[in-house]
Structure 1
Amino acid sequence: MALLKCTLGLLILLVVSDCSWAKKKELSVSELLWRANKNVVRTKDDPLVIDDIAYGDVTERNADPCINRGCKWVKFSDGKVYVPYVISNQYSSQERSIIERGLQSFHSDTCIRFFPRTNQREYLNILSDKGCYSYVGRQGNAQTLSLERPGCVHHSVVQHELLHALGFNHEQCRSDRDQHIRILWQNIEPRYWNQFYIVNTLNLNTPYDYNSVMQYGRYLASWNGEPTMVPIPNPNVQLGEATQMSQTDVIRVNRLYNC
Structure 2
Amino acid sequence: MCKILNDSTNLEREEGMLSDVCTNDENKLWKYAVVPLVFNDNMKEELKSFVRQAMRNISEVSIVKFIEIRCQTDLNHLIDYIKIIDKGEFASYVGRIGNRQPLYVSNDQNRWPHLIGNAMHKLMHALGFYHEHSHPNRDEYLKVVTSDKNYDKQESDTVIYGPYDLGSIMHYPLGPNMTSRQEIDIEIGQRVRLSEGDKKALNKLYPNTLEVDQERHLDWLQISCGIVMAFSNHGDTFGLIS
For Structure 1 versus Structure 2, the TM-score category normalised by the shorter chain is: 0.5 to 0.7
Contact kept, 8 Å, 2:24 with 2:159, in 1: the verdict is yes
Q: 1:169 aligns with which of 125, 130, 133?
A: 130
| SS class of match (1:55) | coil
Q: What's 1:111 paired with? A: 63
Q: What's 1:125 paired with? A: 83
Structure 1 position 73 matched with structure 2 position 34: no
| SS class of match (2:91) | strand
Tell me which amino acid in the other structure corresponds to 1:171: E
Contact kept, 8 Å, 1:85 with 1:117, in 2: the verdict is yes
In 1: Cα distance, 2:123 partner to 2:89 partner: 15
Contact kept, 8 Å, 2:4 with 2:150, in 1: the verdict is no
Q: What's 1:98 paired with? A: 50
Contact kept, 8 Å, 2:88 with 2:108, in 1: the verdict is no
Decide whether aligned partners of structure 1 residues 67 and 91 sit closer, same or farther in structure 2, where only a CA change above 3 A counts: same
In 2: Cα distance, 1:232 partner to 1:86 partner: 42
Structure 1 position 218 matched with structure 2 position 174: yes
Offset of residue 134 of structure 1:
0.4
Contact kept, 8 Å, 1:212 with 1:245, in 2: the verdict is yes
- Describe the superposition over 1:126-150 as per-residue Cα deviations: whole angstroms up to 9, x where unpaired: 0112521000000111110011333
Count, aligned residues = 184
Structure 1 position 209 matched with structure 2 position 209: no
Tell me which amino acid in the other structure corresponds to 2:63: C
In 1: Cα distance, 2:197 partner to 2:25 partner: 24
Contact kept, 8 Å, 1:204 with 1:256, in 2: the verdict is no
- Of structures 1 and 2, the one with the larger relative CO (CA 8 A, separation 6+) is 2
- The CA RMSD over aligned residues, in Å, is 2.4
Offset of residue 68 of structure 1:
5.2
In 1: Cα distance, 2:189 partner to 2:132 partner: 9
Tell me which amino acid in the other structure corresponds to 1:234: E
| Structure 1 segments unaligned to the other structure (5+ residues) | 1-33, 35-50, 57-63, 76-80, 223-227
| SS class of match (1:115) | strand
| Structure 2 segments unaligned to the other structure (5+ residues) | 8-20, 209-242
| SS class of match (1:106) | helix
In 2: Cα distance, 1:238 partner to 1:157 partner: 16
More helix by share: 1
Decide whether aligned partners of structure 1 residues 142 and 104 sit closer, same or farther in structure 2, where only a CA change above 3 A counts: same
Offset of residue 107 of structure 1:
1.7
- Describe the superposition over 1:111-130 as per-residue Cα deviations: whole angstroms up to 9, x where unpaired: 10001124542111001125
